[in-house]
Structure 1
């Protein structure tokens, strides 16, 4: 049998705590009933299977002791991925990976419990990925893939794809209470019980906090999950998951550095005291898995109802000297989808082979999605309002064949079709259309030894642009003519990687050298309601990662990543891509012994160019977080989290653009309009924060 298939079969059938459905790619075995035997295997061993060196799986054991400031920081378990924030803690995070400022999620495909999180044609940003509804204690593991080499991954996956899976059953009930500085309060109740022939898992979470900001955040978050798993015999099962999430908050958005330097505000002060937002997400999904003699059949269907209201002010009085520049972004969205796949384990020309054929269909309706100018959250001028229907469907096939003990080939083909219809408040910006793209994938896996794999990968992928950009002909603010943009933008990736466990028992090392070309980074700017054309780009980089389990008590990991991002069409303005991440590093340890647990993380976020000629750069940041727990009784545990242990005064994010504070005099553009004052605009990292918690297992 193919080596990776055997590994996954062991992980599945001999009671290793990583189900095959949670692994990122690689060969898969159907779930079957086997006689139990005792086998020792590790999460790292199961995670090592896959089709690229930059593919992996983070098990639950690596997450349990991890200190977290925000739920979205779970994604920092992906080597080279940085998660920050430039606004309030109800807004989607900022993500950085592989030479990208991914904004709020463009080019990073993310799913939770089988449902997509990226929102296309979004009021604030294409691919908007809000993970504030995730309950970390219910996560069973995180599977990740980086690059364009995976036929099953479609929109937004040019830089990578992350799948967060939820548990079907908790080992025991959990009631948890946390208190911390700056008004932090969190309560959690979760358990699973046998209900009829299946298992019902539930989790309910409440969070309130103000943060260190002069303007209290006033976060009020309610979150709930119900998940029912019904075994049907022979490994077949159905899982139904319902989720509900609601949040409201005040925001301290990024502020002009000069406002701090001149003493107008403190480091944690706000310029516009009325920024903030409200969001909600309600979903229902069903998953079906049926093993068959030669493989398995999987199906997934979901419906998601979401709303977002966001009030932001990034330029203050540059565009509207009297009212100010605050604006509202609102959307009311319904998303539905169906995914189907069939996997065959068999032979090809007498060699062990796995083939998967799948389809993915998604429909989004936004009614409405709008942008308006506001004062103190009260709208006074509508910029644009649209009703959008967007439907996509994809077919893909992938094959992995073990030709020799040391040679495996990978091949895939994906075809995507998109249809859209926009009805705008300005009829000149209404329209309908379609686009399609075909994405081939190829790879070779060489295994010079039983514990070392060398990966050669190539593939084409894509991301979608906001479909309003494909129908807009008139700037909704100025009335100037606008050029329509393409909806599907191709990306081509190349990678050479190696993964080995030769050096020491329990030690896994991986390295990859990669390149990604994108034909155009044209995107719709939700902050202004217009499209902003960018240029074709090329990103190259190297990533190194280590995962070490010297004993069952210890998990040690470290990674570094270096990237070079440039525009490919040379222009006098410069070829650097603003905000493109250049270097990151992280290291961590998780330790469990007797009554004690320990988790510690170090994260380095390197400096970045902020404008095209690289004459203005951001500063770097280095943060250390710590979590220590002690079991005081058999079913009771206390823990302490110290976030930003060394109280470093660094920035979560740094921008460079023009703004105008109230009372300032603006220089003028050649056409006589205000040019504003160029400055750094920063969102500071939160200072040292202490949180304590009590967890009771029942």
Structure 2
């Protein structure tokens, strides 16, 4: 019986609907610039007193498929143009057409006054906040650098090689003139196999970064002789806000898997977490670069007392890739190769880094602080490059191999205190550092 009632209701709706449906017609048209006659993409079309509207496409065209029959006011608007309204009659069974030209009209803004104190030196610094890091996520730690004004990066020879850094127009190569550190541990490698100060930031995971400090200019003695153009200091989180698993895939055999896990501990004064990331891509080049990178990171943070903390941090990183290298413009113009081709596709390399460091921090009632850090780094690097192709060796090519295998140990200390200097409150910092590199560096004709 219930089924028969449902069928009766459905039959009634099918009969009534064609009778009560409101007649409608299609409205289409084109919007152009009144001066140049060019189509205007992105113009807004709205039927006044209705919820119907549309936006023009790249050709300035728009379509409203179901416009009620009758007289309508059509409003057309776009930023930088005067709004335009037309009266349109829509007839049942006919396709309505609207063509309009908008007149350019400049957007007048109110007065804006920007004030700033005069700088006392050419040096500047900027702390990139956690909010900025979250709203502009970066795939690598190098990409975070571009959050700082005046700093850009460039990549060549495959995704496994450290990016080049340009700060205030200063070509700092791969870090030769920019001192970079992570939680106080230096990233730059002195007397590196590929160049002085080589700084590869691929060894840590960008999702664990809490703050980034960028200082521009050779005015900061605490960063040493590598800070000719400036200094960059990363600081990682002491704890995570939550656990995360992120899987991502794309073209060119690109995939990225990220995991962040806050380890549950009974003592609320202690915190520990683990992070891991795997990334791979073949890139757009004809010979797949086969980039593979694995990162592991762990951190333990302990409040020993209300005024002292102890932090243990460890990380590991391994990467391998192939590269198509530089190509001559003449080879592309002559049709020998295209933009994504290669003269010598045997470039590339492998690199790895393992870190362990201990940080102790204590402060006295807000008047002084003392920091002590000890670190140990193991680093491996191998890079194949060919800058002259077959100039010196027409048979086997001019490929060279650069290697760097080293262990780095170091210690940093810093004592800061506030005191009165006449009528002024002053802060004084005293510190020192010791670093020892046991490096085996080589350059080979491969």
Shift of 1:148: 1.8
Q: Does 1:178 find its partner at 2:251? A: no
| 2:259–2:277 CA contact under 8 A, matched in 1 | yes
Shift of 1:282: 0.3
Match of 2:171 in 1: 101
Secondary structure, in 3 states, of the residue corresponding to 2:135?
Answer: coil
Cα distance in 2, alignment partners of residues 68 and 242 from structure 1? 22
Cα distance in 2, alignment partners of residues 71 and 152 from structure 1? 23
Match of 1:25 in 2: none
| 1:310–1:330 CA contact under 8 A, matched in 2 | yes
Q: What are the Cα deviations for residues 173-222 of structure 1, in whole angstroms up to 9, with x where unaligned?
A: 11000111111101011122343541111101111110101111111111
Secondary structure, in 3 states, of the residue corresponding to 1:142?
Answer: strand
CA change 1:169–1:234 in 2 (3 A) is: same
Secondary structure, in 3 states, of the residue corresponding to 1:156?
Answer: coil
Cα distance in 2, alignment partners of residues 196 and 307 from structure 1? 38
CA change 1:60–1:51 in 2 (3 A) is: farther
Shift of 1:349: 2.5
Match of 1:249 in 2: 321
Match of 2:217 in 1: 147
Cα distance in 2, alignment partners of residues 137 and 284 from structure 1? 19
| 2:204–2:315 CA contact under 8 A, matched in 1 | no
| 1:78–1:144 CA contact under 8 A, matched in 2 | yes
CA change 1:254–1:67 in 2 (3 A) is: farther
Shift of 1:292: 1.5
- Match among 150, 160, 184 for residue 80 of structure 1: 150
Match of 1:160 in 2: 230
Shift of 1:68: 3.7
Cα distance in 2, alignment partners of residues 181 and 73 from structure 1? 20
Q: What are the Cα deviations for residues 491-514 of structure 1, in whole angstroms up to 9, with x where unaligned?
A: xxxxxxxxxxxxxxxxxxxxxxxx
Give the alignment of 1:119-158 within 5 angstroms.
Answer: 119-158=189-228
**Unaligned stretches of 5+ residues in structure 2:** 1-119
Cα distance in 2, alignment partners of residues 67 and 223 from structure 1? 18
Q: Over aligned residues, Cα RMSD in angstroms?
A: 1.8
Q: What are the Cα deviations for residues 516-538 of structure 1, in whole angstroms up to 9, with x where unaligned?
A: xxxxxxxxxxxxxxxxxxxxxxx
- Match among 207, 221, 233 for residue 293 of structure 2: 221
Range with bigger deviation, 213-222 or 66-75: 66-75
Cα distance in 2, alignment partners of residues 123 and 151 from structure 1? 26
Cα distance in 2, alignment partners of residues 252 and 141 from structure 1? 35
Match of 1:210 in 2: 282
Match of 2:309 in 1: 237
Q: Does 1:364 find its partner at 2:434? A: no
Shift of 1:111: 0.7
- Match among 400, 404, 411 for residue 331 of structure 1: 404
| 1:279–1:309 CA contact under 8 A, matched in 2 | yes
| 1:253–1:270 CA contact under 8 A, matched in 2 | yes
Cα distance in 2, alignment partners of residues 258 and 286 from structure 1? 53
| 1:234–1:291 CA contact under 8 A, matched in 2 | no
Cα distance in 1, alignment partners of residues 266 and 214 from structure 2? 35
| 1:304–1:335 CA contact under 8 A, matched in 2 | yes
Give the alignment of 1:105-116 within 5 angstroms.
Answer: 105-116=175-186
TM-score normalized with structure 1 length? 0.45
Q: Does 1:191 find its partner at 2:246? A: no
Match of 2:395 in 1: 322
Shift of 1:78: 1.7
Shift of 1:134: 2.5
Q: Does 1:307 find its partner at 2:380? A: yes
Match of 1:283 in 2: 355
CA change 1:161–1:292 in 2 (3 A) is: same
Q: What are the Cα deviations for residues 277-318 of structure 1, in whole angstroms up to 9, with x where unaligned?
A: 000000101111100243100111111000001111111012
Aligned residues: 325
**Unaligned stretches of 5+ residues in structure 1:** 1-49, 375-698
- Match among 422, 427, 434 for residue 349 of structure 1: 422
| 1:90–1:277 CA contact under 8 A, matched in 2 | yes
Cα distance in 2, alignment partners of residues 110 and 141 from structure 1? 13
Question: Which has the larger strand fraction?
Answer: 1
CA change 1:332–1:154 in 2 (3 A) is: same
Q: Does 1:298 find its partner at 2:368? A: no
Secondary structure, in 3 states, of the residue corresponding to 1:281?
Answer: strand
Secondary structure, in 3 states, of the residue corresponding to 1:123?
Answer: coil
Cα distance in 2, alignment partners of residues 331 and 218 from structure 1? 22
Secondary structure, in 3 states, of the residue corresponding to 1:255?
Answer: coil
Match of 2:105 in 1: none
| 1:102–1:108 CA contact under 8 A, matched in 2 | yes
Secondary structure, in 3 states, of the residue corresponding to 1:55?
Answer: strand
Shift of 1:60: 1.3
Cα distance in 2, alignment partners of residues 69 and 100 from structure 1? 24
| 2:271–2:300 CA contact under 8 A, matched in 1 | yes
Cα distance in 2, alignment partners of residues 169 and 118 from structure 1? 26
Cα distance in 2, alignment partners of residues 134 and 285 from structure 1? 14
